[in-house]
Structure 1
Amino acid sequence: MKKTVVALAALAAAGAAPAQEIVRIGHAAAVTGPVAYFGKDTENGARMAIEALNARGVVVAGKKVRFELMAEDDGGDPKQATGVAQKLVDARVNGVVGHETSGTTIPASKIYHQAGIAQISPSSTSPKYTQQGFNTAFRVVANDIQLGQALGRHAVKDMKAMRVAVIDDRTAYGQGLAAEFAKSLKQQGAQVVAREYTHDKATDFNAILTRIRAQKPDLVFFGGMSAVAGPMLRQMKQLGFEARMMGGDGICSDEIHKLAGGAMADGQVFCAEAGGVDAAGRAGLDKFRADYRKRFGIDVQINAPYAYDAVMTMADAMVKAGSTAPARYLPALARTAYRGVTGPIAFDARGDIRDGSITLFTFKGGKRTVLAVTK
């Protein structure tokens, strides 16, 4: 009897379908702290991609796979980000989408590179990220050089701002963007009349704003996030300093209106998002936004569609390479030509997106309003 049971078990095992392979995609961003709304936005976008892939039933090398998201909170802190990166490496994830900010992405990228794990950032814009020479590092948005140049051109040519005050929050993102913007201004004959610094957790700006106001600038540029820019706008109004403000994608969220406490006037704030689609791609992006709202009950902040495309691009490379192992699919990822909801995705030799688009916005009624899509 015992031999019969063993034999039947062996036959059952031999005839059983192979276990489904689990593909784990890590996501890392700040989902707590002052910019948690940005981190949750990219996490939600990545989650939507995971759900879409599983609904589709992806097959890699003839075998059906199931994707899982391993979402981690880096708190927007570089030290915490390296701990999160090591945790994802130890969990043997097949790839990583993140981190959210340049200050967390850059230190984490060294750990992923040492482990040979592919990393696609859906939001980090510092050129330093892809200048390290890591074959594991990619991004699906334009970098600060492109962003700063576009903002500088718009400030001078369209806004006629010739006297500009520049502030940054001393983060990798804020410093890099402010430097590229200032460089663009000078190339076009405009003048930086004041250069000031704060930090990413600052709440009191009276001293620097008082110094800037004395220089009578046409425009104040802030390199940093809306969690700082909002209170800064509120204090500008309290000082009777009603200058226009410009910044990058860090302030390019409807959250800035709430954080400014009603101090932001229509047409006062201008920003640029590292990304954007032309008229031909608008329907696809609008559908994504509608699906996102249906799934999570809130609107997209900025980078959710880029996180979605990052996951999809990674999965597409796995299919084309016939392997979910990073070492096997990395070459396919480097030469990808994927059409996402944010437009065509292809990487240059450094891992930067080719021909990255930039969308310029202002705010009306507390909501972002598109001014133009440029490159």
Structure 2
Amino acid sequence: MKRKHTIVALSVGLALAGAYGSAFAAGEVTVTIGSAAPMSGPQAAFGQDNTNGVRMAINDLNKENIVIGGKKVIWKIDAQDDQADPKQATTVAQKFVDEKVNGVVGHLNSGCTFPASRIYNQAGIPDITPSSTDPKIAEQGFKTFFRIIANDNALGAGLANYAKANLKAKTVAVIDDRTAYGQGVADVFAKTAKKDGLKVLDREYTNDKATDFSAILTKIKSLHPDVIFYGGMYSQAGPMLRQIQQLGIKTHFMGGDGICAPELAKLAGNAADITICAEGGSPISKMPGGVAWKKRYDAEFGPSAFQIYSPYSYDGTMVLAAAMKKANSVDPAKYLKDIRNIDYNGVTKSDIHFLANGNLAEPTITLSKFDNGVKTVVAVEEVK
């Protein structure tokens, strides 16, 4: 009978080990970071780049053999395609909550981060966006939300100021795609342009699926603006630039970080050469760890994979890990406070820390132009 009890006890132990996985048996703990971005559709290049940044950080963390709470940590990524669709983003967010991920890096689009951040806040799961720039997200007051990049207030204003001071523009026309991001950055640009004394000749609207802008552009052509500003993504800006060229419109073209990617030149060809765009953060060459990091990124994913945000998604993942190490816990409820008090030496910035509303403290913006299809930095400015 004693032998029978031993066999039963052994069977129960094996069953428990199976239920909790190898981490239980080996004294390990698995930490899963959710990564949410459009992995399909017209913005897939951005989404894949974001995911690459998280994946690269996860690989680096696993090489460190980190111990938290007395257990070796096995780091994993759960990469989900939110299709740049707010409804799909909420489905992804709820999936992460149900699976009890330890933290989230995402979403890419402001329109996706906006509703998803509410779900994360209700569940107490920290989320760091590497790319959503709508200021209104932080205004919701969620304690779990963080942004590791400058917001649209900085981008839109920086572009308007540049149009006035450097392009000597006097008139502008503004178009946006009606998404939270596109409308937000366009509103800031238009407001700052008026404040700077520029005249906004026209305000037009499209959507983030459109490819034919001939009616809008024909109307704008008759107004002869010095600048056309587009609030939206490169997937629409590319064909829009081609149509500007076809219509013979003589102007400058401006937009935020949504258009400020190498993919723009692939879609627009030499029509992209009238473009000046702004992105939150510094160029790779000016980031404290940028050059060495980019070399590793290219070796792992190929040089054509890089767009804009992967260094920020990398640092976002590393900030989550740093907070867990500081708290000596992978429990979001215990390490959340340590994100708020973090001072992390990252690839993108040497002193990453956050304001009370989750915005990045002391961000920078970079203005670039396209010259023969190559994005070239024209100015780097600190946001005060």
Q: Does 1:33 align with 2:67?
A: no
The answer on whether the counterparts of 2:27 and 2:72 sit within 8 Å (CA) in structure 1 is: no
**Aligned counterparts, 1:170-181, within 5 A:** 170-181=178-189
The answer on whether the counterparts of 1:95 and 1:119 sit within 8 Å (CA) in structure 2 is: yes
The answer on whether the counterparts of 2:111 and 2:179 sit within 8 Å (CA) in structure 1 is: yes
Shift of 1:190: 1.0
Partner AA of 2:356 in structure 1: A
**Aligned counterparts, 1:239-250, within 5 A:** 239-250=247-258
- Distance, in Å, in 1 between the alignment partners of 2:25 and 2:294 is 38
Q: Secondary structure at the match of 2:296?
A: helix
The answer on whether the counterparts of 1:120 and 1:138 sit within 8 Å (CA) in structure 2 is: yes
Q: Which residue does the alignment assign to 2:366?
A: 359
- Distance, in Å, in 1 between the alignment partners of 2:303 and 2:90 is 30
The answer on whether the counterparts of 1:24 and 1:69 sit within 8 Å (CA) in structure 2 is: yes
Q: Which residue does the alignment assign to 1:269?
A: 275
Shift of 1:98: 0.2
**Compared with structure 1, are the counterparts of its residues 193 and 302 closer, same or farther at alpha carbon in structure 2 (3 Å cutoff)?**
same
Q: Does 1:93 align with 2:98?
A: no
Q: Does 1:316 align with 2:322?
A: yes
- Distance, in Å, in 2 between the alignment partners of 1:173 and 1:360 is 18
Partner AA of 2:344 in structure 1: Y
- Distance, in Å, in 1 between the alignment partners of 2:111 and 2:327 is 32
Q: Which residue does the alignment assign to 2:217?
A: 209
Q: How many residues align?
A: 369
Shift of 1:90: 0.5
**Aligned counterparts, 1:289-308, within 5 A:** 289-299=294-304, 300-308=306-314
Partner AA of 2:322 in structure 1: D
Shift of 1:57: 1.2
Q: Secondary structure at the match of 1:339?
A: coil
The answer on whether the counterparts of 1:78 and 1:107 sit within 8 Å (CA) in structure 2 is: yes
Partner AA of 1:311 in structure 2: T
**CA offsets 1:288-340 (integer angstroms, 9 cap, x no match):** 11111100113420000000000000000000011111110000001111011
- Distance, in Å, in 2 between the alignment partners of 1:189 and 1:242 is 21
Shift of 1:152: 1.1
- Distance, in Å, in 2 between the alignment partners of 1:187 and 1:60 is 52
List runs of 5+ in structure 1 lacking aligned partners. Answer: none
- Distance, in Å, in 2 between the alignment partners of 1:325 and 1:283 is 30
Q: Which residue does the alignment assign to 1:141?
A: 149
Q: Which residue does the alignment assign to 1:219?
A: 227
- Distance, in Å, in 1 between the alignment partners of 2:10 and 2:332 is 36
Shift of 1:276: 0.9
- Distance, in Å, in 1 between the alignment partners of 2:280 and 2:258 is 10
**CA offsets 1:184-233 (integer angstroms, 9 cap, x no match):** 11111111111111111111111111111111111110000010000001
The answer on whether the counterparts of 1:122 and 1:303 sit within 8 Å (CA) in structure 2 is: yes
Q: Secondary structure at the match of 1:251?
A: coil
Picking from 283, 288, 296, the partner of 2:293 is 288
Partner AA of 2:312 in structure 1: Y
Partner AA of 2:310 in structure 1: A
Q: Which residue does the alignment assign to 1:341?
A: 347
Shift of 1:283: 5.7
**Aligned counterparts, 1:95-244, within 5 A:** 95-244=103-252
- Distance, in Å, in 1 between the alignment partners of 2:154 and 2:269 is 31
Q: Which residue does the alignment assign to 1:54?
A: 62
The answer on whether the counterparts of 1:29 and 1:72 sit within 8 Å (CA) in structure 2 is: yes
Shift of 1:365: 2.1
Partner AA of 2:319 in structure 1: T
- Distance, in Å, in 2 between the alignment partners of 1:273 and 1:339 is 21
The answer on whether the counterparts of 2:284 and 2:294 sit within 8 Å (CA) in structure 1 is: no
The answer on whether the counterparts of 2:177 and 2:206 sit within 8 Å (CA) in structure 1 is: yes
- Distance, in Å, in 2 between the alignment partners of 1:127 and 1:29 is 19
Partner AA of 1:314 in structure 2: L
Q: Which residue does the alignment assign to 2:268?
A: 260
- Distance, in Å, in 2 between the alignment partners of 1:244 and 1:292 is 33
The answer on whether the counterparts of 1:277 and 1:357 sit within 8 Å (CA) in structure 2 is: no
Shift of 1:369: 0.4
TM score, norm. by length of structure 2: 0.92
The answer on whether the counterparts of 2:284 and 2:291 sit within 8 Å (CA) in structure 1 is: no
List runs of 5+ in structure 2 lacking aligned partners. Answer: 15-23
- Distance, in Å, in 2 between the alignment partners of 1:203 and 1:147 is 25
- Distance, in Å, in 2 between the alignment partners of 1:25 and 1:2 is 45
Partner AA of 2:105 in structure 1: V
TM score, norm. by length of structure 1: 0.94
Partner AA of 1:336 in structure 2: I
- Distance, in Å, in 2 between the alignment partners of 1:367 and 1:5 is 73
* Runs of 4+ deviating beyond 6 Å: 7-10
Q: Secondary structure at the match of 2:75?
A: strand
**Compared with structure 1, are the counterparts of its residues 275 and 283 closer, same or farther at alpha carbon in structure 2 (3 Å cutoff)?**
closer
